[in-house]
Amino acid sequence: MPTADDIYIHCDELDNIPPICKKNWEFEISLLATKLKPNAKVLQVGCMDGTRIIALLNTRPDLDITGLDIEQSMVDSCNANLEKVGKKATVILGDITKPVPVSDFDYVICLNNTLGYIPDQEASLKNMKNLGEKVIISVFGEGFDDEISKSYFTSIGLTVQSIDGDMFVMDDFVNVLRYSKDVVDNWDGKITYTPLGYFCEIG
């Protein structure tokens, strides 16, 4: 069974994933760069090895970013990568479905369909709203169709066993959701369309 390290690390390897997925990733960065207010305090849920934090700090060095990840190995590589490039951010170990020892962010961001990998959607949304004034969630929608999804998941080392509506049932890994517009509408935020789905600003 692949470990989290085997899989997640590939999500931000932009030259390895299908071009439309790379485009989506970059689109998220350019939207965030324009949307986040100056000197904002930002929590990224699922910061992985810090690739996204570093990309954000490259375009918005004023941001005060904290990364949160459930995997100790990701926290360690995030810290190592930040140090390697001389960028500063706080990185903490935690599970967004449970209480985490931080608060009072201007924004909580959860990108690249990270929410789709977390089984307890309700607890994740509730905690994100408690942690920040605004919550920004970017997810894959109907545009992440069966063909694109299969090539994306293959590129990050996952095998899709079957597709059950909006649920990708994986061989030996957590199942992954994509989101219909109806589900995102229910979050009651401002929606911007991305190449693969929805960027939703809540609060």
Ligand X SMILES: C[S@@+](CC[C@H](N)C(=O)[O-])C[C@H]1O[C@@H](n2cnc3c(N)ncnc32)[C@H](O)[C@@H]1O
**In the complex, which residues of this chain contact ligand X (CB under 6 A)?**
4, 8, 11-12, 25, 45-48, 52, 68-71, 74, 95-97, 111-112, 114, 117-118
Q: How far is the CB of 59 from ligand X (least distance, A)?
A: 14
Q: With respect to ligand X, which residue has the nearer C-beta, 64 or 71?
A: 71
Q: How far is the CB of 61 from ligand X (least distance, A)?
A: 18
Bridge partners, 139 (sequence order) = 198
Q: How far is the CB of 188 from ligand X (least distance, A)?
A: 22
Token representation of residue 203: 């609060």
Closest CA to 114 of 28, 34, 39: 28
Q: With respect to ligand X, which residue has the nearer C-beta, 65 or 184?
A: 65
Q: How far is the CB of 181 from ligand X (least distance, A)?
A: 21
Q: With respect to ligand X, which residue has the nearer C-beta, 140 or 189?
A: 140
Q: How far is the CB of 127 from ligand X (least distance, A)?
A: 9
- Residue least distant from ligand X (Cβ): 46
Rounded to a whole number of angstroms, the distance between the first and last alpha carbons of the chain is 39
74-83: long-range pairs with CB below 8 Å, 24+: 74/4, 74/5, 74/8, 74/47, 74/48, 74/49, 77/49, 77/50, 78/47, 78/48, 78/49, 78/50, 78/53, 79/50, 81/49, 81/50, 81/51, 81/54, 82/50, 82/53, 82/54
Amino acid at 25: W
